[in-house]
Structure 1
Amino acid sequence: MSTPFIGKREYFPGIGRIPYEGLGSDNPLAFKHYDANKKIGDKTMAEHLRFAVCYWHSFCNAGHDPFGPGTRHYPWDAPLAANDSPLARAEAKIDAAFEFFTKLGVPYYCFHDIDMAPDADDVATYEKNLKHMVALAKDRQKASGVKLLWGTANLFSHPRYMNGAATNPDFAVVARAAAQVKNALDATVELGGENYVFWGGREGYASLHNTNMKRELDHMARFLTMARDYGRSIGFNGVYLIEPKPMEPMKHQYDFDSATVAGFLLKHGLDRDFKLNIEANHATLSGHTFEHDLQVASDHGLLGSIDANRGNAQNGWDTDQFPTDLYDTVGAMLVVLRQGGLAPGGLNFDAKVRRESTDAEDLFLAHIGGMDAFARGLEVAHALLTRSPWETWRQQRYASFDSGAGKDFENGKLKFADLHALASSSGEPAKISGRQERYENLLNQYLLR
């Protein structure tokens, strides 16, 4: 990707390929930490981080919110005098998207079906639109070298999904959702997508008075099983991902957090094919930290990919801001590195520039900041794991389980009566400090170097 992709028109004139210039640079359109080819351990930064740009927030979101319309006017959405149509505008949008991907220098992108192609109530028209746009995307992938990290279907925006998609009490809606997932899976395979995501945007309930929760959850499991089987039948060999979220738009969503989804997958025998796509802002909305939900997923062997964003502690909703908190990115990369990486998943920026950010340059600045934040998080996390006493301290804290009776306990060789006898003969246990402050100071020491 040495030369940025430019279609029939350049949508970001005056902005070239974003370079790495290091900490000494004051150029806002340059990376200070993200050097794609820099080796961290046995992989380059690009191989560790596997960045992807999200089609929806970056090219479909004009800054609208519940209190007002959009503030940004995209040139790819402007009326096209001679041949103005939703499809023509979608063609312009895909050129703008691939120009942005290549100028930013990301290896991947991801999309919902109706981000890329115009929606239609008629299934045949919807399918025709999507197939047309997938053919264009395939050409642009070949020309640019950018790949598809994952595809998905939007099963939450259309009014038909007001009561859910796979969990809808109306079977006709469930069938319509399946038609979209089938097409989105077909598109993902055609474009060489490495993963496929399910986000249950309205899979949940607003009131238990009118909800049969067990039946809806069984339907969701059946739907996911059928989707898995269809994908495998057409040659999709990648990972299926579920993205947890606790609420919003529903009062309670069935994919509440990592622990909830892990239990659901294990119960229904889906854990061999499905993993989790963890979003930072969703984790914090569920009352956890980003690192916590990542760790729970990883401990179950189910951490597959990451939506890289953040929320705002003063807002009680999903603000989808670009990640800039270095403590969050270090914590995230500690989990990722301990499990050996994310591939075939990656870090996709499910984030949007602020409503008040209306310049084309702002989209570049937001992604540059997020990429630099995770690059620095990667550097610090790797240093903590390989050059500091961090992991040794953690291991020493559990040393009593490495030999003797503690090891026998872990190996299931003791009975409860044995524990009683040991406690009776040992007296009061000594206090052993957790030394949390020591870890925090060490993190700062490496972060501020």
Structure 2
Amino acid sequence: MTDFFPEIDTIPYAGPDTDNPLAFRWYDADRVVRGRTMRDHLRFAVCYWHSFNWDGFDIFGDGTLDRPWLDRSLDPIAAAERKMDVAFEFFAKLGTPFWCFHDFDIAPEGATFKESAANVDRLADRAAEHQQQTGVELLWGTAKLFANRRYMAGAATNPDPEVFAYAAGQVAHCMDVTHRLGGHNYVLWGGREGYDTLLNTDMARELDQLARFLHLAVEHKHRIGFQGTILIEPKPFEPTKHQYDYDSATVFGFLQRHGLEDEIKVNIEVNHATLSGHDFAHEIAVAANCGIFGSIDANAGDDRLGWDLDRFPVSVEAMSLGMLEILRAGGFTTGGLNFDCKLRRQSIARDDLFRAHIGGIDTMARALLVADALITDGELDRFRADRYAGWDGEFGQRLLAGELSFEALRERAESAAEPQPVSGRQEHLENLVNRYLVTAR
């Protein structure tokens, strides 16, 4: 264990009335909610990339954060080992049960594929030792198929089959590493699987390539005996003008078309849902209805800034509506809540990384309590059931069963009384949610 955070002890639960910024107010890991502990409901993970592999740079300025292992003058492997030691010190002191990584976040790329793979293997061995010592598990791993120049035109959708082959090899190796580390999932994020202009793009060809790549990934999963879930992370745009995995509905349609809907689920990012024009809760509901709900990247954007900000979640209201849909879907199985979040460039103190994660964890824990209270109260579910009660009656069931033709329905419309609209009571239901935002404990 390192001493990068020497003034920080293990973060305790201190209760809602504490004024200690380095303690949890709402996340009591052993508290039982709806038959499961908070730890098991929420399955928190810390992302390796933003927390330890990013120094705070943006397109207008150099990095601002204190990340000495990112100094380019250092030996790359020694720096990667130092970075990993610090990361696991953080995971252990924060008390989150999981972490997530890209292959070239934990290790530097080499001059050749073999050298790169050897670097990842070396750091994966170190990660295995840290996992054994701390008890922290791997929620998911993924290959970085978007940063290197070779992937400027995509990986699976690249016009050059040699790039496709390189990407396939990289995913195969990263999936092997994820399997070796006991990963619960493997994520495929198509960072550049899209297009900037149709002038140079054969969309039909690229979609066929993407389907072939996904089939290969599934085949490799079964070949190596990986028991985790393969996840796709939807995103509508950025860095490309249009991503092929735009949102959960788009992903499901693609999976269904290519016979993959029983093999692959989605990892939904809150900020990506916002960018696609949807609410977080909407994306979860769609995925759950389609049977592809898998995991969550818990973060937030900004209503006035239309790009991927990766802020830590602070809105209990927004997260409560998302947690409500997660509970309705039966909760997580192999998935969890990964904080795919960045500190702000001015948050330069070392303990800011703890304060940010503590706030995000408490936000999600409080959201869980609100969602539980809403379900326990039952008013939302009763109102929704009553609103659709006609479909549960004889006439509604005959309609759904296909027993009535348009001609029969026209005859009914001609003879029946005018249907009387019933209030949807949106404001009442919104007020109900607000009430539990205050009272749920």
Q: TM-score range by the shorter chain?
A: over 0.9
Match of 1:436 in 2: 426
Choose from 285, 289, 309 the match for 1:295.
285
Q: Which runs of 5+ in 1 are unaligned?
A: 1-5
SS of equivalent residue, structure 2 residue 338: strand
Match 1:34 to one of 16, 27, 32: 27
Equivalences for residues 166-315 of structure 1 within 5 A: 166-315=156-305
Query: Residue 8 of structure 2 corresponds to which residue in structure 1?
Result: 15
| 1:379 counterpart (364, 369, 372) | 369
Who is 1:56 aligned against?
49
User: Residue 299 of structure 2 contacts residue 312 of structure 2 at CA under 8 Å; is this kept in 1?
Assistant: yes
The equivalences for 1:364-403 within 5 A come to 364-403=354-393
Q: Which residue of 2 aligns with 1:67?
A: 60
Supply the AA of the counterpart residue of 2:316.
L
Alignment correspondent of 1:112: 102
**Letter aligned with residue 63 of structure 2:** G
Q: Quick check: 1:164 aligned with 2:154?
A: yes
Structure 1 match to 2:84 = 94
1:128 maps to which of 93, 101, 118:
118
Cα distance in structure 2, aligned partners of 1:21 and 1:390: 32
Query: How many Å separate the matches in 1 of 2:20 and 2:420?
Result: 56
Q: Secondary structure at the match of 1:276?
A: strand
Listed one character per residue, the Cα deviations across residues 296-334 of structure 1 (whole Å, up to 9, x for unaligned) are 111101110001001011111100101111111111111
TM-score in terms of structure 1 length: 0.96
Query: How does 1:77-92 map onto structure 2 within 5 Å?
Result: 77=70, 84-92=74-82
How far off is 1:77 after superposition?
Answer: 3.5
Alignment partners' CA distance in 1, 2:93 and 2:426: 42
Contact map agreement 1:76 1:96 (CA 8 A) in 2: no
Please list the CA deviations of residues 223-268 of structure 1 after superposition, one character each: whole Å capped at 9, or x if unmatched: 1101111121111111100000000000001000111000000001
Q: Secondary structure at the match of 2:66?
A: coil
Paired with 1:417 and 1:69, the residues of 2 have a C-alpha distance of: 69
CA root-mean-square deviation: 1.1
Give the distance between the partners of 2:78 and 2:266, measured in 1 at CA. 35
AA of the residue aligned to 1:287:
G
Q: After superposition, give the CA deviation of every residue in 1:195-224 in whole Å (9 maximum; x if it has no partner).
A: 000111000001101110010000001011
Provide Cα deviations, 1:14-70, integer angstroms capped at 9, x if missing partner.
Answer: 001011111110000011111100000110001000000000010011111111111
Tell me the amino acid that sits aligned with residue 256 of structure 1.
Answer: Y
Aligned partner of 2:369: which letter?
E
Q: Identify the residue that residue 46 of structure 1 maps to in structure 2.
A: 39
> Residues 270 and 300 of structure 2 are in contact (CA less than 8 Å); yes or no, is this contact kept in structure 1?
yes
Matched letter for residue 155 of structure 2:
A
Residue aligned with 2:273, SS: helix
Asked if the contact 2:66/2:350 (under 8 Å) is kept, the reply is: no
Query: Which residues of structure 2 form unaligned runs of 5+?
Result: none
- Partner SS for 2:433: helix
For 2:352 and 2:180, how far apart are their aligned partners in 1? Answer: 32
Residues 337-384 of structure 1, C-alpha deviation per residue, up to 9 Å, x if partnerless? 011111210000111111111111111111111111110110110111
For residue 62 of structure 2, what is the amino acid of its counterpart?
Answer: P
Whole-angstrom distance in 1 between the partners of 2:402 and 2:111: 59
1:428 Cα deviation after fit: 1.6
* Range with greater deviation from structure 2 (158-167 or 326-335): 326-335
Q: What code does the residue aligned with 2:367 have?
A: G
Shift of 1:79: 7.7
Aligned length: 439
Matched letter for residue 335 of structure 1: E
Determine the C-alpha separation between the residues in 1 that align with 2:277 and 2:11: 37
3-state SS of paired residue (1:360): coil
C-alpha distance in 2, partners of 1:158/1:97?
Answer: 24
C-alpha distance in 1 between matches for 2:287 and 2:133: 36
Q: Find the residue that maps to 1:197 and give its secondary structure.
A: strand
> What residue is the counterpart of 2:321 in the other structure?
331
Q: Work out the percentage of aligned pairs sharing the same amino acid.
A: 53
Give the Cα separation in 2 of the matches to 1:229 and 1:125. Answer: 25
Report the 3-state secondary structure (helix = DSSP H, G, I; strand = E; otherwise coil) of the residue aligned with 1:57.
helix
Give the letter aligned to residue 162 of structure 1.
M
Task: Say which SS state the counterpart of residue 263 (structure 1) adopts.
Answer: helix
Cα displacement (A) at 1:182: 1.1
Q: Is the 8 A contact 1:256 1:286 kept in 2?
A: yes
Q: 1:423 aligns with which of 413, 425, 432?
A: 413
Aligned with 2:359: secondary structure?
helix
Map of 1:3 onto structure 2: none
